[in-house]
């Protein structure tokens, strides 16, 4: 207590030795930072409030049971868009997870400081920051044109390419946090490196790795640009082979929000609110998993 009191008593004296111009500059910077923080929070709160007010007005039982309406028709829902988005997101994450986890494992466990690992990290960083519309154009050239049709498969591949760098980065960072002594203990028992990675490193970092997968899922759940070039959209249920346009929430919101029909705009607001709630839920789950792992 005496030490704490001495420190607290010495603080004003320390500030007294600082030149007044520096003290004023410090206070000014604090005020500016607080002001811009309030501005950012106000804008974000305004957007969320508008989304909630406009989105709730479009909620009804038909929203989750009926398909999207045609031009000029009344009523309708977004059931086909919801299911289509779930399928496309599932396809994307089921492809991206093994690729991202194994690539991140190589960078953290095998590559480390090698030239190849440095090149992969550089390319991963570029892919992480690449505009999603470029990925959509790439998949369009790679799959849609040769197949002669839009498809859910192309949409899933586009979303997977967006999710992979997120999972790679998270997996590598989590594995690097695993103490080397755990690996040494496994090696001392005579276990090969592959067994040590699967039974020791992955188990120790699994909470962070699962968090990376959830964050990647949240990242691709609301992507619109790549789906415009791959899965596109329609007002019906998708085919079993996923060929042709596959209805999905992001593209539906984009198209309906620009339409002159009032019921279409209401459905667009409701769909935007559903996506926002879903992404918020995934983010909260990811934080809870990390927090629970830290408590352990």
274: buried, middle or exposed (CB in 10 Å: 19+, 13-18, 0-12)? buried
For 96, the token pair is 């991206």
Give CA angle at 166 (160, 170), nearest 5°: 135
User: Do 214 and 241 touch, CB atoms closer than 8 A?
Assistant: no
What pLDDT is stored for residue 161 in this prediction? 94
What pLDDT is stored for residue 6 in this prediction? 53
What pLDDT is stored for residue 135 in this prediction? 93
Nearest to 89 by CA among 278, 266, 288: 278
Nearest to 89 by CA among 209, 212, 224: 224
The pLDDT tens digits for 104-135 are 999 998 888 788 989 999 999 999 888 999 99
Radius of gyration, alpha carbons of the chain? 25
Beta bridge partners of 243: 151
d(CA 152, CA 227): 9
What parts of the chain have a pLDDT lower than 70? Answer: 1-18, 290, 292-296
What pLDDT is stored for residue 3 in this prediction? 52
């Amino acid at each position: 207590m005496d030490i704490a009191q001495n420190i607290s008593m010495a603080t004003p004296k320390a500030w007294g030795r600082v030149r007044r111009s520096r003290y004023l500059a410090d206070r000014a910077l604090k005020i500016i930072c607080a002001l811009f923080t309030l501005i950012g929070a106000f804008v974000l709160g305004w957007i969320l409030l508008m989304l909630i007010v406009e989105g709730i007005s479009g909620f009804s039982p038909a929203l989750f049971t009926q398909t999207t309406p045609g031009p000029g028709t009344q009523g309708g829902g977004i059931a086909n868009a919801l299911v289509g988005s779930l399928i496309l997101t599932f396809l994307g994450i089921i492809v991206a997870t093994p690729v991202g986890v194994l690539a991140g494992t190589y960078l953290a466990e095998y590559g480390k400081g090698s030239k190849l690992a440095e090149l992969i990290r550089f390319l991963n960083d570029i892919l992480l920051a690449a505009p999603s519309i470029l990925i959509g154009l790439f998949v369009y050239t790679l799959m849609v044109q040769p197949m002669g049709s839009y498809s859910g498969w192309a949409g899933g591949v586009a979303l997977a390419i967006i999710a992979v760098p997120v999972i790679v980065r998270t997996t590598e960072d989590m594995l690097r946090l695993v103490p080397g002594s755990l690996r040494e203990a496994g090696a001392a028992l005579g276990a090969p490196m592959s067994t040590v990675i699967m039974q020791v490193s992955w188990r120790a970092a699994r909470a962070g790795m699962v968090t990376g997968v959830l964050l990647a899922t949240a990242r691709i759940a609301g992507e619109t640009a790549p789906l415009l070039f791959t899965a596109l959209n329609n007002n019906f249920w998708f085919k079993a082979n996923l060929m042709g346009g596959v209805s999905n929430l992001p593209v539906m919101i984009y198209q309906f929000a620009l339409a002159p029909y009032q019921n279409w705009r209401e459905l667009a607001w409701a769909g935007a609110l559903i996506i926002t709630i879903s992404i918020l839920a995934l983010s909260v789950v990811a934080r809870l998993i990390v927090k629970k792992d830290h408590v352990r």
